[in-house]
Structure 1
Amino acid sequence: MNGPNPLRRLHAELLYARHGVRVLARPLLLFIVVVLIGGVVEHEYGSTPGSPPQTWTRAFFVSYTLMFSEHLEETPTHLLAQLMHYGQPLLGVLVVSEGILRLGVNLLNRETNARTWVEIMAATAKQHVILCGLGSVGFRVAEELVSMGVEVFAVERDANGQFVERARMIGVHVIIGDARAEDLLVQLHIDKARAIIVATDDDLANLEIAMDAREIAKDVHVVMRLFDQRLAQKVRSVLGIEASVSTSRLAAPLFASAALDPAVVGTHRIGETVLVVVQVTVGEGSVLRGQSYGSLSGRGMTVVGVRGENGQWALSPKPDRWFTVGEQLQVLVRSDQVDELHNIAAG
């Protein structure tokens, strides 16, 4: 996945720097207030006998140096000024220490910093995909999306999940939290997202997240992982979610077909029709010899891939290409056509 463009990266860095400044806002404000008060006291009461009155510039400079325990002037005679001369260095130590402590805690709190950075990146993102659940299925989905150049923001409850660091390594923005918290989806700017994929292993949690997502962003594309096939159908028809996927419904045809024929390498379902991708080799006696790839379309079959001499698969070969003995093909057929394909390929 390509990283964010330089301007967006700069924008994100500036937002993150502003967050760092906010951490120091309270001690900085206290520091300024103490210096201002000390400057006024120094100007009004800080003069020693026989010395000219303090200028405002000098008074504020003396007040500033007192914050760091530096005494540039003799101790004044006025009680209030004396209290400032002795008390301001102590206040300076406390205020500066608080600032250093806040900054240190902020730098060391990696989890908070990581979450803040992800939220900032989400604020500057458009057409990203939000993925809820980084289990084995979620991680594979993230891998596919990243390979397509899509920016992915993943939400995972378990900070120690086995795929969390692996996802970060491939460029996924991971935030630790519960996707059922509505504010989390808002922080990830679901309103600007291309889609949200809900892939936890809890059907009820998935349903709740999907409904929250639709409530926050009515036009967002929702893809759900559901184990219950009937629930998946109801979600599609009643809730108006564009795509609800039953993993068992998708996986079952592949398992069944692969068990019956090891040449089956993939499946796809359209309605109640199961399509399978079968890998075959054109034999010496094949009826396909001397025919074009397109000739299979009359049988309801489609060549989707051919392995070249270099061992690499070429996708969607031209239909006017001719079959040759010994070449390996992947052909899309109905599940009831597998035996027929083997017969015409082998001869």
Structure 2
Amino acid sequence: MLRFLNRRRAPRWLRRWRDNVRDTLVLLGQFRGSILAFGVTIVIGGWLYLTLAQQLGEPEPHSLIAAMYLALSMIFLQSNVPFPAEWQLQIFFFIMPLIGLIILGQGFADFGVLLFNKRARGEAWQMAVIDTYSNHIVLAGLGHLGFRVARALHDLGEPFVCIEQNPNAELLSQVIDWNVPIVQGDALKHDVLRKAGLERAHTIVLATSDDMMNLQIAIHARSVKPSIRTIVRLFDDDFAREVISAFNITSAFSASALAAPTFAAAAADIEVVQSVTLNERVLNLSRVVLAANSPLIGKKVAQIEHELDLSIVLLKRGKEADLHPDNNRPLKAEDEITVFADTATLQRVKRLAQGT
């Protein structure tokens, strides 16, 4: 799995900024009808006013552009021409503000509801958001394990889309509050996988409570995108090992042996060698290779352990493997280190090792 370490990701702050921009653009897109109606009102209102004004011998406005600007100013009660004497033109000064108030008022009301009440956003909204996703993770199953995986992915700042056929209302609302799009449907169906943007995703995590369903979804996912990385949850350890070799699964984990953060780490391309739980804290062994531009180069083992709150248990340099390396030993480019830390720290170490 070390080959996946070369894939660079944007920093977390940039991904959050992109998520906010994506959310805003989709939100604005939901109201293109109101925006279009407002524009048509200005054009038609300006054209009608110009036509009547010319027939009645009014000196202003001089052109269609000027008439459209006048119609716009009427809507906001900021007319830039004197009040006309002809009743046919006077009507515009009363009708245009009413029409504008109706169109803009309804649009702003709906905009506010969707902006502040994310639960009011329907399936069309979810699909519009998913269309903006790429190089993301698809998580199938929002049960107890799936929800914990979703929370871990959210904590890691990884972009992901959920698929759930019958989501629990309480868990669903929590995930929606994270701005995570959810596709409600059967993950065994190709169209549901495509709705989740699987063809643009880099990994699918299968965390339903049914082992055979997880395996079937993995096969269907490979048929949609053969290169997709598949992380499968299975109850039986021996079965998990057999599945990896028989079905070319990227990773298959036993839920009885691993906690949810380990699934999240695997989905985030963090290689987990082993996982243990100490004092209700999940710690993992992971290997990383230092790139030529890594800021860890030149730092001593003890310094890295102190700054990042981890343990370096193995340093591999070329053919040399140093178990429990000396605290004063500095790191070099292309060093492979095996570290012992929690999932969030491993993600940070991975980025530092890559120089991202």
Give me the TM-score of the superposition, normalised by structure 2.
0.52
Amino acid at match of 2:198: I
Could you tell me which residue of structure 1 aligns to residue 74 of structure 2?
66
Distance 1:110 1:43, change over 3 A: same
Amino acid at match of 1:222: T
Distance 1:119 1:243, change over 3 A: farther
List alignment gaps of at least 5 residues for structure 1.
252-276, 278-311, 322-347
Superposed CA RMSD in Å reads: 4.9
Amino acid at match of 1:44: T
Amino acid at match of 1:223: I
After superposition, residues 15-164 of structure 1 pair within 5 angstroms as 15-46=22-53, 51-52=58-59, 54-56=61-63, 57-68=65-76, 72-76=82-86, 81=89, 84=92, 87-111=95-119, 120=129, 123=132, 126=135, 128-139=136-147, 141=149, 151=158, 153=160, 155=162, 156=164, 157-161=166-170
Distance 1:123 1:70, change over 3 A: closer
Shift in Å, 1:73: 2.2
Shift in Å, 1:53: 5.0
Asked if the contact 1:123/1:188 (under 8 Å) is kept, the reply is: no
Q: State the Cα deviation string for residues 232-264 of structure 1 (Å, max 9, x = none).
A: 68866765445445657x69xxxxxxxxxxxxx
Asked if the contact 1:45/1:76 (under 8 Å) is kept, the reply is: no
Q: Distance in 1 between matches of 2:94 and 2:137?
A: 59
Asked if the contact 1:153/1:175 (under 8 Å) is kept, the reply is: no
Q: Distance in 1 between matches of 2:33 and 2:152?
A: 45
Distance 1:24 1:242, change over 3 A: closer
Distance 1:245 1:45, change over 3 A: same
Asked if the contact 2:119/2:173 (under 8 Å) is kept, the reply is: no
Shift in Å, 1:162: 5.2
**Number of residue equivalences:** 256
Asked if the contact 2:234/2:254 (under 8 Å) is kept, the reply is: yes
Q: State the Cα deviation string for residues 141-183 of structure 1 (Å, max 9, x = none).
A: 5577678x57262625425345974x799x8957363461545
Q: Secondary structure at the match of 1:46?
A: helix
List alignment gaps of at least 5 residues for structure 2.
1-8, 259-275, 277-308, 315-321, 326-356
Q: State the Cα deviation string for residues 65-107 of structure 1 (Å, max 9, x = none).
A: 3334677522525x5x566555434422322233223313322
After superposition, residues 199-278 of structure 1 pair within 5 angstroms as 199-227=207-235, 239-245=247-253, 247=255
Q: Distance in 1 between matches of 2:86 and 2:139?
A: 66
Asked if the contact 2:206/2:218 (under 8 Å) is kept, the reply is: yes
Q: For CA contacts below 8 A with separation 6 or more, give which structure has more relative contact order.
A: 2
Q: Secondary structure at the match of 1:54?
A: coil
Could you tell me which residue of structure 2 aligns to residue 13 of structure 1?
20
Asked if the contact 2:229/2:250 (under 8 Å) is kept, the reply is: yes
Shift in Å, 1:110: 0.7
Q: Distance in 2 between matches of 1:5 and 1:143?
A: 16
Q: Distance in 1 between matches of 2:33 and 2:220?
A: 36
Aligned residues: percent identity?
25
Distance 1:316 1:16, change over 3 A: closer
Shift in Å, 1:198: 0.8
Give me the TM-score of the superposition, normalised by structure 1.
0.53
Deviates more, 1:225-234 or 1:28-37: 225-234
Shift in Å, 1:200: 0.9
